Amino acid sequence: MKRPLPLPTYSALGQFAVILGIHPRTYPQPLESPTREKRAVKIVILDGRPLAAERAAWSGLDQFGSVEYHDFTAPDDVPIRARGADVLVTNKAPIRAPLIAGSTELRFVTVTATGYDCVDIAAAREKGIPVSNVPVYSTRSVAQFVFALLLELCQNVARHAEAVRAGEWTNQPDFALRKTSLFELAGKTMGIVGLGRIGQQVAEIAQGFDMKVIASHSFQPAPVASGSIERRDVDKVFAQSDVISLHCPLTPQTAGIVNRDRLARMKPTAFLINTARGALVVEDDLAEALNAGRLAGAGIDVVSKEPIRPENPLRTAKNCLITPHIAWATEEARARLMEATVANVAAFVAGSPVNVVN
């Protein structure tokens, strides 16, 4: 039986700032205004299942008003379910400009994730609606998962364990059974594209494996995060690395940054790791490079359309590990995410939104 997520309870906004290291931000439209009749706050959770499928896990929000919970909301149903809401809580359910422009009650949106591309930020800003995210909850979990994928590519633990279960070790005379080539990380070069919190955590772990770390940030040499991280432009990072790990946000500038041209710059012995956003990669180009042996392998936790479609070319690409967008989802990270989501709503109700991205 799954352990339920811890349910945070708070008595004062100041506790949030201390616990989470966040700072209140004044926003021009508090929940209550002198010209508006005071009433109960209506909070609608559009897609709560990825964080916590049990309604009880969301009870920390009940102190602020009425809470309407949905496991999942299809895009066409979002405007219907959002009707009359003061606060929308979303993970991936899209909140687009027409909904924002047409809503007379919506005052706040909080995203249960770090990425917030599911919300039309410009439309919300124009209407004076703050949008908050949760910026730091999954840093350690995602960085750890990068190395779960990378070590599997280097050591093929699952394949060897399956061979033992199938009797292959028992039925051969040697003391060891080696099904694939195995590789050390020491002395290799880790190339990081996007040197934010997660990118810096990955760099620190890589250095613990005695890897050299080079990095690029926003297509420019990365800001200095450590004296031992060397800065390169993005094309040189792709060309010089034994491992590329993607940690940049998805923007019009970064969409498709891993394409045929950059894959051709990579060493044929290199690995690509993507725990950021699926659309950073042109999936047809990556599948082609893997199938042609121009890239040694890839570890992918995100794809361009999720859940993954049957026709996605990476499903059948050679030496491509695909996991179902779980790098963020450790028990500890999910508990932090729930705590911070409650804190975001509490701060808004108190009139001082935090973690505002617009």
Is 23 annotated as catalytic?
no
Query: Per-residue DSSP letters for 237-285?
Result: HHHH-SEEEE-PPP-TTTTT-BSHHHHHHS-TT-EEEE-S-GGGB-HHH
Nearest to 216 by CA among 253, 191, 187, 242: 191
Give yes or no for a contact between 120 and 100, defined as CB atoms under 8 angstroms apart: yes
Kind plus residue range of the DSSP H or E element containing 154:
helix 139-155
From the candidates 325, 334, 336, 339, give the one annotated as an active-site residue: 325
Quote the CA–CA distance of 238 and 215 in Å, as a whole number.
10
The sign one gets for the Cα dihedral 53, 41, 23, 354 is positive
Kind plus residue range of the DSSP H or E element containing 155:
helix 139-155
From the candidates 54, 306, 331, 332, give the one annotated as an active-site residue: 306
From the candidates 277, 283, 336, 339, give the one annotated as an active-site residue: 277
Kind plus residue range of the DSSP H or E element containing 202:
helix 197-208
Quote the CA–CA distance of 358 and 117 in Å, as a whole number.
12
Q: Which two tokens stand for residue 275?
A: 């725990």
Q: Please give the order of strands across the beta sheet that includes 108-111.
A: 65-69, 41-45, 87-90, 108-111, 131-132
Is 37 annotated as catalytic?
no
> Given its phi and psi angles, is residue 167 left (phi above 0), alpha (psi -120 to 50 degrees) or beta?
left
Is 277 annotated as catalytic?
yes
List, by residue number, the catalytic residues: 277, 306, 325
